[in-house]
Amino acid sequence: MDILTSFLLGTLYGISLAAPPGPILAMMAQRTIISYLNGISVGFGAMTADFIFMIITLLLYGFIKNLPLFPFYIIGSLFMMFLIYSSLKSTKNEFKRGNEKSSNSYLLGLGIALVNPLQIGWWLTAGLTFISLFGIISVVGFFTGIIIWVLFFAFIVRKGYSINRGIASLAIKIFSIGTFFSLHHILCI
Q: What is the 3-state secondary structure (H, E, C) of 37-97?
A: HHHHHHHHHHHHHHHHHHHHHHHHHHHHCCCCCHHHHHHHHHHHHHHHHHHHHCCHHHHCC
Which pLDDT value is given to residue 137?
92
Which pLDDT value is given to residue 122?
78
How far apart, in whole angstroms, are the C-alpha atoms of residue 87 and residue 8?
36
Name the pTM for this structure: 0.74
Cβ atoms 23, 154 nearer than 8 A: no
SS3 call for 34:
helix
Which pLDDT value is given to residue 124?
74
Which pLDDT value is given to residue 187?
45
How far apart, in whole angstroms, are the C-alpha atoms of residue 137 and residue 143?
10
Tens-place pLDDT, residues 40-62: 999 999 999 999 998 988 887 66
For the chain, list residues with pLDDT below 50: 91-97, 183-184, 186-187
The full set of domain ranges for the chain reads: 3-188
Which amino acid makes up residue 118?
Answer: L
